[in-house]
Structure 1
Amino acid sequence: MFGYIVINKPEMKFKDFDIYQSYYCGLCRTINDNYGLKGRVALNYDMTFLAILLSGLYEPHNQSSYRRCFLHPLKKHLEIQNEYVEYAAKMTIALTYLKCDDDWIDDQKMSKQVYKKILNHSYQSIKKEFPQKIEMIEKQLDKIHEYEKMEDVRIDDISGCFGKVMAEICCFQDDLWQDYLREFGFFLGKYIYLLDAYDDIEKDLKDNNYNPFISHFQDEHFEERCHDLLEMMISRAAEAFEYLPIEENVEILRNIIYSGVWSQYELRYQKRMEDKK
């Protein structure tokens, strides 16, 4: 379920893209410093968004530096690091570790189990640091797997499980803003789950895997139904987001919430329409 919370680059200002990239590079550096190359493989844009969101809300002191990396050895890049980038790095490892189980269930790829074992020590360390948070995430992901074995499951129930996962991840601490962060994360998580199901439906039909949209796929109004559901989820997420007093890099965050996530839907919708033709 990675890869959906991204920017819409054509709609972003150059200076904002440079800032976004500096958080991405900072996250990459933090993962590499703490977990090595094995963790760097897990790097994704979704947790870059989390780092920018929490940094914008809490406005920590940033450590900024220009550094080279093995992927870009000829030119130094700006890297931003702070406690929320570090938190995003830990959540990157935790979610990647747990996603290995989901991928194993769906595809039975041994590489996922091998990678899970490689990440196990790092994951257990993160779990020890955030026991209640990780326990809640594990519980909700297990619940998703239980729902997938049942014949009649409401889309709202199963997507709500991943909503609770993202709510837990977005809520860094119990404070004045926790309710809005949880509400934002909840509906963003439901959006991610539903878009992932929409994206995978042909593959899941072919492989006989669970997908909450399978019973509706042949309906005349399938595309309209999916669009309406996704719009409802991201609208609720955006509503909660606007209650947060974020000023720093708010245009980057709005680009992602109002445009970037929809660009991912549009790509998949257009591909499906082309395949039908």
Structure 2
Amino acid sequence: MSDTGLVIAGLTPFSTVDWPGKLAAVVFLQGCPWNCGYCQNFAIIDPKAPAQVPESELWSLLERRAGLLDGVVFSGGEPTRQPALLEAARRTKRLGFQVGLHTGGAYPRRLAALLAQNLVDWIGLDVKALPENYPRVVGLGQTQPATATPAKSSAPTAKLRLSIPPLNKAGQSAWESLDMVVGAYREGTLANYEVRITVSPGHDLDDTNPETLVPLAEALRQHGVQTLAVQQARPDGTRPEFASRYELPGVRDFAADLTAAASRVKSLGFQHFTYRGV
């Protein structure tokens, strides 16, 4: 089976947590246009890094797991950054698997193409902030190589279109994608979705925190979101400077503040609400 051109940073053969209610393989695609401080996959942000997993390994896995897995989740990084995602999703569905997608909504045109061609069954959409606050949350607006050194790989390096959306358009792109997801679900062209908000310790303006959570959730409700998950940022796999926040005094107070804020969000009337604390 020929390759589609995906640049794969990692492959999890079996997961019960990346697609709620489904047994899925998870494909982590290399590269992201954003640089969020709490990112648990910061080592795969660099869009110029080579593949760590040969694409043939993915297709071999799916051929062996036919009938044993419900679907495949394309994650990242930002999976919609890679043009080959559409053909990979198409091939995945031809093999009999459902397709899930983890995305921050950075590339609404590519998301629109996936939805228009019925290539995705479920979307986990990370909404990071109100539109005007995105420049602070998503960082530099251009990727920088991570400090972690990836393992050597014999996988071929595919040529990618290294497009970086302007930082000041990040919020616009994300919320355009949000409206697209909600609209597709209402129209019946998307089977299901989950909007996620990740909340960080501290009250820095560069992250969503308990104080900003409720206004953000209220805005999502006004945009028609019915399924929302609030999750506490975890230190595992993050940059050392972010992980060190969990060693500072006041983290216990943060957890209590977040629990209280999540309770207020739950009262806003979402049809499905999930709270994921540490």
| TM-score normalized with structure 1 length | 0.32
Higher relative contact order (Cα pairs below 8 Å, separated by 6+ residues): 1
Q: Normalized per residue, which structure has more strand?
A: 2
| TM-score normalized with structure 2 length | 0.32
Q: Normalized per residue, which structure has more helix?
A: 1
